Copies of this chain bind each other. A is one copy, B any other.
Amino acid sequence: MWERKDFLDVDSLSKEDIEMILDYSEVLETHSGRGSKLDICRGEILVTAFFEPSTRTEKSFEAAMYVLGGDVLLHHEAGSSRDKGESKLDTLRTLEQYSDIIAIREPEAGMMQRYADELDIPVINAGDGHNQHPTQAILDLFTIKKEIGCLDDLKVIFFGDLKYGRTVHSLIKALRLFGRNQFFGVAPRGLELPQSFAGNDYEEIDMEDVIKIKPDFIYATRIQKERMSLDDRDKYSYEINAAFLCKLPKHTKIMHPLPRVNEINIEVDKDPRFIPFKQVRNGLHTRMALIALLLNHEDELQKISK
């Protein structure tokens, strides 16, 4: 049974929590689609409060609530009362009066627990600075499970900014709950995976080792150039292109949380091993499951599961 009021991070989730979300995501994927609106959240309102822009995540939550039959209020920073000096917490408390659940994107790491404590309605962390992006981790897990059928005995190589890449941190933590997996990292100097995330199952490698490893997944991330020294920008830029894919095994899937900039050449978009837009789609169903669980609709979810 689902017993959490909020969804703030991946760390505090049990394996059972995650399995429940993934199972219901699959059920919801089967039972939704064109023309089949559900009534699970009819009469309920989701607020998305984004203190930092994000197309992908905001629209994903919005669509998820529509398919569940609910309504959505979008709050953006621009054009709001915060111009008049209101605190974020007052803005959130105001939005709470109109809604049943809230998804918050917040640039400052570590504010989510405070918001969850202060608000009576369920709070979903839709990304808090470089700290966590737990709904991304869930959709990544769902993607991996759908592609390969399981969440253990995997070889996953992470590319890019592994120091600040919160999606990488969350995903590694979550995968560790599901058994033995092998993780590898290819990162520019200074942007390596922090020691706190790097366990026995983690190894730093060079670009040339990637092929030898025959990974199940390459999880590429955007490198924020402003975080690298000028010298390193050229040295550590990487591009996943057709030539690179040519050398990869047929079963290796390329994941990326998007947006991409120059890390992935669009020439690989038609390759079936390139699956970032499948990840996006999976985000819809995992967020549906999450919203439904947090609003205590487990009974309805079980009903449609049969």
Give residues in A with beta carbon < 8 Å to B.
Answer: 34-37, 42-45, 47, 50, 53-56, 59-60, 62-63, 66-67, 71, 73, 75-76, 78-87, 89-91, 93-100, 222, 258-261, 266, 277, 280-281, 283-284
Closest-by-CB residue of B relative to A91 is B55
Cβ contact within 8 Å between A79 and B78: yes
Query: Which residues of B have CB within 8 Å of A90?
Result: 258-260
The copy count of this chain in the complex is 3
Using A37-B43, A43-B34, A43-B36 as known contacts, say yes or no to A259 and B97 having CB atoms under 8 A apart. Answer: no
The answer, among B36, B54, B93, for a CB contact under 8 Å with A81, is B54
Distance in angstroms from A306 CB to nearest chain B CB is 21
Known: A62-B73, A86-B260. 19 other contacts (CB 8 A): A35-B43, A37-B42, A37-B43, A50-B79, A53-B80, A55-B80, A55-B91, A55-B94, A55-B95, A59-B75, A59-B98, A60-B98, A63-B99, A84-B259, A84-B261, A90-B259, A91-B259, A96-B277, A97-B284
Closest-by-CB residue of B relative to A43 is B37
Query: Which residues of B have CB within 8 Å of A79?
Result: 50, 53, 76, 78
Query: Which residues of B have CB within 8 Å of A37?
Result: 42-43
Closest-by-CB residue of B relative to A54 is B81
Complex Cα distance A73/B284, Å? 13
